[in-house]
Amino acid sequence: MGQAAPDYVLDHAPGSKAAAQHALIMVRKDYILSAYLSDLGGNDPASHNGNPEEVIAVVTRYLHSTPTGKVLPGPRSAIARFARFKEGLPAMAAALERHQQEVHPYKDYRVYLALLNEFLRREQRRVPEPGGRTPTC
């Protein structure tokens, strides 16, 4: 059969100057795409080996800033936040009368994403800005 499709393709905001030039293409293992696809306009695939921490590191390094230009925290910070999310996931699932297995990141994507978004909103309120100021919401 044909080559496997990329696991993820992440692009900048549609219509942005960067969107016309760069895209992040992630594959589970190096060299999974055939040679003619590996150079997609100068965008070589980044492998993540099926490891969520590697996915986070690749995406964080690729994005490096918010749409407003604020520099994002580094991969270690994002990975630590993800670990806190996973620790709190059973309690968040229970609040929705769901078992943790009923908020699977693929099978229950919408519920998982809603919980992740809520977690990030809470985290944003508690994380001080550079200089020690706590953001006001």
Residue ranges of domains in the chain? 8-63, 75-126
Cβ burial 100-121 (10 Å sphere, 16+ → b, else e): eeebeeeebeebbeebbeebee
Q: Measure the CA–CA gap between 94 and 88, rounded to whole angstroms.
A: 10
pTM: 0.61
- At 69-120, the pLDDT tens digits run 788 888 999 899 999 999 999 999 999 999 988 999 889 999 999 999 999 9
Q: Is the pLDDT assigned to residue 12 strictly greater than 60? A: no
Q: Residue 49 is encoded by which pair of tokens?
A: 């080996």
3 state SS of 24: strand
- At 21-62, the pLDDT tens digits run 566 777 766 665 555 454 566 666 777 878 888 888 888 888
Predicted local distance difference test score (pLDDT) of residue 3: 45
